[in-house]
Amino acid sequence: MKIMGRKSSSNVQKVLWCCAELGVKYEHENAGREFGIIDTDEFLELNPNGKVPVLIYKGINLWESNTIVRMVAARFGSGTMFPKEIKSQAIATQWMDWQLSTLGPDFTAMFHGLVRDKPEDRNWKSIDSSIRKTQANLEILDRYLSETQFIAGDTLTMGDIPVGIYVYRWYEFKTIKRKTLPNLERWYSDLRKRPAFQEFVMVGLG
């Protein structure tokens, strides 16, 4: 197995964290941003979108981070990372899709504005709107987590991975005024205790 993508990418971190939880061995190659590669003909044959991550495994060239996480979970963590029960599978997938459709897009303006833009170039109207939307989204997650230990039950599954990375980044913005969300904070505290989360997610904002 080979994983291509820079370790500072949230989408690459999803795959690396999943693999680490399952003890999956792989070869890693940095790609994207300062590492380049993604605009080469060779890379575009693997992913015509020119984005990371890309997973190469037994003749499969796979892109889209959540899809890769699901494949790795099903192949190496059937019954654990990939839940056995259909209800738990559906719930895990639902929250993975929610990260892509709602949490991620609403988070983007804040992240790019505060991390990548120069102070003089920041669009504070856009950033403030992004903060408000992200807070509202996480209130939804907080209410849900009042009923469950992890996203899809009593143990970590693939459903926790995409959302967990964004929650880490949310709490890394020290100057943001946040509402207290006790269920979210309890869940996030549990994630922070996991060695794989510490190694591949708690690496700052990049």
Listing DSSP states for 120-143 in one string gives GG--HHHHHHHHHHHHHHHHHHHH
Kindly state the tokens that stand for 116.
Answer: 């990548």
**Rounded mean pLDDT of 78-107?**
98
**Rounded mean pLDDT of 93-115?**
98
Same domain assignment for residues 111 and 142 = yes
Residue 139 falls inside a structural domain:
yes
Same domain assignment for residues 112 and 161 = yes
pLDDT digits (tens, 9 = 90+) for 53-70: 999 999 999 999 999 999
* Confidence label for 203 from pLDDT (cuts 50, 70 and 90): very high
Q: What is the pLDDT of residue 206?
A: 74
* Confidence label for 104 from pLDDT (cuts 50, 70 and 90): very high
Residue ranges making up the domain that contains 23? 2-76
Q: What is the pLDDT of residue 92?
A: 99
76, 96, 130 - which closes a domain: 76
Same domain assignment for residues 45 and 143 = no
pLDDT at 84 over 80: yes
CA-nearest of 183, 187, 204, 48 to 114 is 204
Same domain assignment for residues 93 and 164 = yes
Residue 184 falls inside a structural domain:
yes
In CATH, what number is assigned to the domain containing residue 30?
3.40.30.10
Amino acid type, 105 = P
Residue 147 falls inside a structural domain:
yes
Q: Please answer whether residues 37 and 4 qualify as being in contact, where contact means their C-beta atoms are separated by less than 8 angstroms.
A: yes
Whole-angstrom distance, CA of residue 157 vs CA of residue 160: 6
Q: What is the pLDDT of residue 115?
A: 95
The total number of structural domains in the chain stands at 2
pLDDT at 33 over 80: yes
Residue 201 falls inside a structural domain:
no
Q: Which residues, in sequence order, are bridge partners of residue 78? A: 82
Same domain assignment for residues 68 and 28 = yes
